[in-house]
Amino acid sequence: MMQIISTWYSKNLAIEVKKGLLKKVETGGWPKQAPFGYVNKHDKNSTWIEVDPKNGPFVTEAFREMSTGKWTLESWADHAYSLGYHSRYGNRIRRSKWSDIFHHRIYLGETWMKVGDIPIKGSHQALVDEDTFTWVQQVLSQHDKNRQHTRRHKYLLQGIIHSADADSPCWAETNNKKKISYYRSRQKVNGSQVYYNSKNVDDQIPAIFKNITITETTRQAMRKELSAFFAEEVEGNGQLKANEARLAKLERMEKNLQRLYVEEEISLADFKEHRSQLEAERSRLRTTVDGVRQNQHLIKADFEVALELATQLDFLYNNGNFDQRRLLCETVLKRIYVEDGRITKTEFNAPFAIIARANGSGTVPSGGPFGTVPELLFDKKGLIPALHQMLGAGSSLSE
């Protein structure tokens, strides 16, 4: 639990940083590293981006040339390199990078926080007009139609599966000729990599979700245990109580300081100096106390959500499409170990690692709909992004 609290403390700092970045975007600023054609600038009070004197005009020229339709991305990358335009590290700017540049709306003078946000008018200078940008998109779209696309395969456990035979993570690959997908160990055993048929491994996942799905009775019992833990944690947190006691003492010290000044026992300069010291310490202690309380509240709230989710894990998996099942695996599973084609050990993300320990207290063969959790789970803009940030330390559970 203390490890989870530490994770949430880090998350809280990240939230504050994100607030600052959002405020920067709202005022027209660019919150990231300046892309090719711009440079980052800063002073003591703020940061901003400006047009790069060398690369900025060339980006404008690149859009104009690409809109004519006489260039491919590859030929333009070669042409730009021959003219002496290189990456930050002095290398040739690749075709894929030029594709990113030609699709990037920052060159229209727009800004945003993350992919998917609606761009707004930025405070930086645009390097291309709307008509030229639109023409370039049409040219690139036509190039895409003329290309022969390679089918992209999806893998349920990519990034999660670990080979116990080779003691290494696994890659996910597909043999198009044999039409077989497999997970392949990165390390070799006796000079050869270990292969696992992806379908055989994936077919073992429903049993994992079924085994950790809990009954409503178990959920309520764990909620009581959780509430009791946090009550005990608050009562027994010596540091928190010590900080609160110190805050109370600082209040008394400030009143005494005011009395001494009124009675002319100390000078105005001494009064201001001591009061400044008291205010600085009080501000620091309040930040610490508020942070601990907030983290405890957030952790408890997310355990409540996870407990509700745990009552229907098998139902959600069995009734979801591939993308929904993949999202569920990323949320619940930290790592699975495979040996000789069988899953031998499972590590869960917190708090599911703790919930999984209730396996012997009443799992159910099949969960069912409960409230609005299915909609939240399958809405990537809802519950799961926040849950993903919270999930940190896992605990292993042997099957």
Least confident window among 23-37, 279-293, 340-354: 279-293
Q: Identify which has the larger pLDDT, 9 or 150.
A: 9
The predicted model gives 317-346 an average pLDDT of 91
Query: Which own/partner pairs from 376-385 qualify as long-range (CB within 8 Å, at least 24 positions apart)?
Result: 377/309, 377/316, 377/324, 377/327, 377/328, 377/331, 378/320, 378/324, 378/327, 380/327, 383/305, 384/327, 384/331
Domains contained in the chain, CATH given: 2-146 (3.90.1750.20), 161-203 (no CATH), 207-398 (no CATH)
What is the DSSP code string of 231-258?
HHHHHH-HHHHHHHHHHHHHHHHHHHHH
At 160 the pLDDT is: 93
Highest mean pLDDT among 121-125, 264-268, 351-355: 121-125
pLDDT-derived band at 293, boundaries 50, 70, 90: low
Q: Residue 393: pLDDT above 50?
A: no
Question: Per-residue pLDDT averaged across 186-200, rounded?
Answer: 92
Sole residue written with tokens 């990037």: 104
For the chain, give the percent of residues with pLDDT over 70: 75
The confidence score (pLDDT) of residue 64 equals 93
Strands 161-163 and 333-339: parallel
Alpha-carbon distance of 127 to 62, in angstroms, equals 10
Spatial separation of the C-alpha atoms in residues 172 and 70, rounded to whole Å: 38
Q: What is the pLDDT of residue 24?
A: 79
Confidence of residue 343 (pLDDT cuts 50, 70, 90): very high
Which residue would you say has higher pLDDT here, 371 or 333? 333
Rounded alpha-carbon distances, angstroms, from residue 315 to 154, 323, 385: 22, 15, 21
pLDDT band at 399 (very low <50, low <70, confident <90, very high): very low
Reply yes or no on whether the pLDDT at 377 is more than 50. Answer: no
Please report the pLDDT score of residue 42 as a whole number. Answer: 87
Residue 226 half-sphere exposure toward CB, CA atoms < 13 A: 22
Percent of the chain residues past pLDDT 90, beyond the cut: 31
As a whole number of angstroms, the distance between CA 293 and CA 158 comes to 37
How far the first Cα of the chain sits from its last, in Å, is 23
The residue assigned the tokens 């205010």 is 279
Q: Give the mean pLDDT of the chain.
A: 78
- Residue 371 or 159, more confident: 159
Tokens of 392: 């940190």
For the stretch 16-68, pLDDT in tens is 667 777 787 888 888 888 999 999 998 888 889 999 999 999 999 999 999 99
Residue 298 has pLDDT above 70, yes or no: no
- Of 287 and 323, the one with more pLDDT: 323
Identity of the residue numbered 319: N
Sign of CA dihedral 59, 65, 68, 69: negative
Tokens matching residue 365: 């063969």
DSSP 31: -
Q: Which of 59-68, 171-180, 225-234, 355-364 has the highest mean pLDDT?
A: 59-68
- List the alpha helices (DSSP H) in 114-237: 130-146, 198-202, 205-212, 216-236
Tokens of 192: 């050869």
The predicted pLDDT at position 21 comes to 76
Is the predicted pLDDT of residue 295 greater than 90, yes or no?
Answer: no
Q: Residues with Cβ < 8 Å from 202, sequence gap 6 or more?
A: 156, 157
Amino acid identity at 138: Q
pLDDT at res. 369: 35
Instruction: Please return the burial class of 352, using the count of CB atoms within 10 Å of its CB with bins 0-12, 13-18 and 19+.
Output: buried
Q: Residue 169: its pLDDT value, please?
A: 93
Highest mean pLDDT among 26-40, 111-125, 244-258, 348-362: 26-40
pLDDT the model gives residue 363: 37
Question: Half-sphere exposure (CA, 13 Å, Cβ side) for 222?
Answer: 26
* Residue bearing the bigger pLDDT, 65 or 236: 65
pLDDT at 193 over 60: yes
- DSSP letter at 45 equals S
More confident residue, 309 or 107: 107
Lowest-pLDDT choice from 141-145, 158-162, 173-177: 141-145
Residue 139 contacts residue 67 (beta carbons within 8 Å): yes
Predicted TM-score (pTM) above 0.95: no
CB 349 within 8 A of CB 394: yes
Query: The tokens 């099957």 sit on which residue?
Result: 399
Across the range 266-294, mean pLDDT stands at: 75
Q: At what angle do helices 383-390 and 2-26 cross, to 10 degrees?
A: 130
> What does the pLDDT average to over 313-324?
88
Encoded tokens for 207: 């049993």
Mean pLDDT, range 172-200, rounded to an integer: 90
Q: What is the mean pLDDT of residues 307-325?
A: 87
- Strand ranges in the chain using DSSP code E only, listed in sequence order: 38-42, 47-51, 110-111, 120-121, 161-163, 168-175, 180-189, 192-197, 333-339, 342-348, 395-398
Residue-wise burial string across 359-369, b where 16 or more C-beta atoms lie within 10 A, e elsewhere: eeeebbeebee
